[in-house]
Structure 1
Amino acid sequence: MPKGEGAQAEVERVLDGDTLVLRDGRTVRLIGINTPELGRDGRADEAFAREARLELRRLATPGSRLFIYPGREGRDRYGRTLAHLVDDDGRLLAESLLADGLGYALAIAPNTTLADCLFSLERTARERQVGLWKLSPVKRLERGAALKAGFGVWRGRVTRTGLRKDGAWLVLDEQLFVLLPGSFRARVGTLRDRTVEARGWLVDRGRRSGAKDGTRQRWLLSISHPLHLVVMD
């Protein structure tokens, strides 16, 4: 549970599996979870996107009242309120979604107070192979997984590593350039030839290799927290 006593807020409607609108007009993005995307502009829904939205609608029906705990960083770049939402039984809505395998755990500073708990719930859902984990959603670079912009979990072998001014970097299977925070500087060299899973939002830097860091990988992934990079062997 978040610390302190949360204020109550009334639900207006649910937009997708991790976002809803309150009666007071605020749009709330749940902290600690990213659910599959609903299709837009002619694109198909991602697997389990509709199930995640239906579950959040069940947990947060219009007119119901929830306790809201805003994050230390209270808004994202889209102006949405970043918060934990808790029901009358004291359970996080994100907790319920992750336990059912309807989203991926996230840890984005400074809103990381409950990150260990949420990642533990995801691991349990993964072991049980429920929800999206039935589909083995981890994209394996060594098996020729197609790269595309957006959120994902990527598995590959570390082929190169290095340091940068404010952190470190590594390359997965010579395809994906991964930026690491400063906490990795002391140990990034030990990751070479290891198999890791990295999660986050993949960015297409263009077909040319003209990245400012001098690397030639087209695809970039920035790791925001140590929990987003896991050594698998």
Structure 2
Amino acid sequence: MQGDVSEKVRVKRVVDGDTIELENGNKVRYIGIDTQELDSSNESVQCYGEEAQKANIDLVLGKIIRMEKDVTDKDRFGRLLRYVWVLDNKDGGDYELFVNDTLVRKGYAKVATYPPDIKYSELFLQGERYAKEKSLGLWSECVNGIDGKVEDLPKLIFEFLNLDY
């Protein structure tokens, strides 16, 4: 059932900006978000892929997380699909930080909604609007995953078409 069971486990490895590996060997893909890809099969790293991975490392690596399932248990690659929270004791207080939302709100991830797993999609959309308005993360550094700022778009188009700018 959706959201009824919380699982707590330690993160062993961060695969990329939206995927982690747990101590028990399971891989977890964050629901509702998507980060730029890292180098796969000798292709170049997409804009902000490394920054997203580093942010994810800083948030969860070696820490105990709480996971919540939505409707779908696993993706086609066998990864668990989960919402993830980590205990954050900044400023002397203890509270849970919603990792999926934090990555979107700080501009490390885009919203990627795949029904029926939509429990927090409105929250993620609000976070993405905030990141765009503030030009945070990939919203200041990338144009659709390509290195470069939005104001550089005309130049990028000319370069793509092999024309002089």
TM-score range, shorter chain: 0.7 to 0.9
The residue number in structure 2 matching 1:229 is none
Structure 1 residue 138: Cα displacement? 4.2
- In structure 1, how many angstroms separate the alpha carbons of the residues matched to 2:49 and 2:121? 22
Structure 1 residue 18: Cα displacement? 0.2
Of structures 1 and 2, the one with the larger relative CO (CA 8 A, separation 6+) is 2
Structure 1 residue 100: Cα displacement? 1.1
Moved over 2 A (4+): 2-5, 135-139, 143-146
Residues 56-87 of structure 1, C-alpha deviations (whole Å, 9 max, x = no match): 0011122x100011221000001110001111
Structure 1 residue 92: Cα displacement? 1.4
**Contact 1:106-1:119 within 8 A present in 2 as well:** no
1:95 to 2:88 alignment: no
- In structure 1, how many angstroms separate the alpha carbons of the residues matched to 2:54 and 2:133? 23
Q: How does 1:1-233 map to 2 (within 5 A)?
A: 3-4=3-4, 6-62=6-62, 64-88=63-87, 89-135=95-141, 137-138=143-144
Structure 1 residue 136: Cα displacement? 5.2
Instruction: Look up the equivalent residue of 1:10 and give its one-letter code.
Output: R
Per residue, is there more helix in 1 or in 2?
2
**Contact 2:27-2:80 within 8 A present in 1 as well:** yes
Per residue, is there more strand in 1 or in 2?
1
- In structure 2, how many angstroms separate the alpha carbons of the residues matched to 1:118 and 1:12? 26
Structure 2 unmatched runs, 5+? 88-94, 146-153, 161-165
Q: What secondary structure does 1:66 align onto?
A: strand
Structure 1 unmatched runs, 5+? 147-233
Residues 2-35 of structure 1, C-alpha deviations (whole Å, 9 max, x = no match): 9545221111100000000001111000001000
**Contact 1:85-1:92 within 8 A present in 2 as well:** yes
Moved more, 3-12 or 66-75: 3-12
- In structure 2, how many angstroms separate the alpha carbons of the residues matched to 1:21 and 1:138? 27
Structure 1 residue 94: Cα displacement? 1.1
Structure 1 pair 128–98 and aligned structure 2 pair: CA distance change class (3 A): same
Larger radius of gyration: 1
The residue number in structure 2 matching 1:157 is none
Instruction: Look up the equivalent residue of 2:49 and give its one-letter code.
Output: A
Residues 93-130 of structure 1, C-alpha deviations (whole Å, 9 max, x = no match): 11111111011111101110100000110010001001
- In structure 1, how many angstroms separate the alpha carbons of the residues matched to 2:71 and 2:4? 13
Alignment RMSD (CA, Å):
2.1
- In structure 1, how many angstroms separate the alpha carbons of the residues matched to 2:143 and 2:50? 16
- In structure 2, how many angstroms separate the alpha carbons of the residues matched to 1:53 and 1:109? 25
The residue number in structure 2 matching 1:183 is none
